[in-house]
């Protein structure tokens, strides 16, 4: 990656406020619950947009192998709950249960838990 691109990415990451980072996480969670993106897509977007780290850098931070991270991002593995949890922990997320029911019910339940307005 070129130095200019890395500097640009780092500037964009640093310029995000806590509220903007939280909004991105919540938006990606909603997309994943609605089936628009996979967990791997969500993890990749969070890694790139919030940390700007390479897979190797992020894997080291999360305490997983780069190979495990690559497999997670490409939805190509059946990770253990522990690996899955370590991958999402840097974003303030943890592995848990989602209520059964319609997508709208799921989003409302999550919105209520997060104390935000549901779509």
Q: What digits encode the pLDDT tens for the residues 57-87? A: 999 999 999 999 999 999 997 889 999 999 9
Dist CA 116 CA 37 (whole Å)? 21
* 86 in any annotated domain: yes
Q: What pLDDT is stored for residue 40 in this prediction? A: 96
Q: What digits encode the pLDDT tens for the residues 2-14? A: 555 455 555 555 5
Number of domains present in the structure of the chain: 1
Close Cβ partners of 114 (under 8 Å, ≥ 6 residues apart): 26
Q: What digits encode the pLDDT tens for the residues 14-57? A: 578 889 999 999 999 888 888 899 999 999 999 999 999 999 99
Please count the CA atoms within 13 angstroms of the CA of 51 that sit on its side-chain side: 21
Chain-wide mean pLDDT for the chain?
82
CATH number of the domain within which 59 lies: 1.10.260.40
Dist CA 58 CA 63 (whole Å)? 8
* 28 in any annotated domain: yes
* 119 in any annotated domain: no
Close Cβ partners of 52 (under 8 Å, ≥ 6 residues apart): 6, 9, 10, 12, 13
> The domain containing residue 63 runs over which residues?
3-114
What is the signed CA dihedral for 25, 30, 33, 37, rounded to 10 degrees? -70
* 26 in any annotated domain: yes
Q: What pLDDT is stored for residue 118 in this prediction? A: 47
* 29 in any annotated domain: yes
Q: What pLDDT is stored for residue 84 in this prediction? A: 92
Close Cβ partners of 47 (under 8 Å, ≥ 6 residues apart): 53, 55, 58, 73
* 51 in any annotated domain: yes
Q: What pLDDT is stored for residue 35 in this prediction? A: 84
Pull the structure tokens for residue 108: 């409302």
**Whether the Cβ atoms of residue 70 and residue 55 lie closer than 8 Å to each other:** yes
DSSP state letter for 50: I
């Amino acid at each position: 990656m070129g130095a200019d691109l890395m500097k640009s990415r780092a500037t964009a990451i640093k310029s995000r406020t806590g509220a903007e980072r939280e909004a991105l996480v919540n938006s990606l969670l909603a997309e994943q619950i609605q089936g628009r993106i996979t967990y791997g897509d969500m993890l990749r977007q969070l890694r790139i947009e919030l940390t700007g780290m390479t897979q190797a850098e992020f894997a080291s931070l999360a305490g997983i192998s780069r190979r495990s991270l690559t497999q997670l991002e490409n939805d190509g593995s059946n990770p253990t709950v522990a690996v899955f949890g370590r991958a999402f922990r840097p974003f303030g997320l943890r592995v848990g249960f989602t209520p059964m029911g319609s997508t709208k019910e799921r989003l409302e339940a999550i919105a209520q838990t997060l104390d935000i307005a549901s779509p």
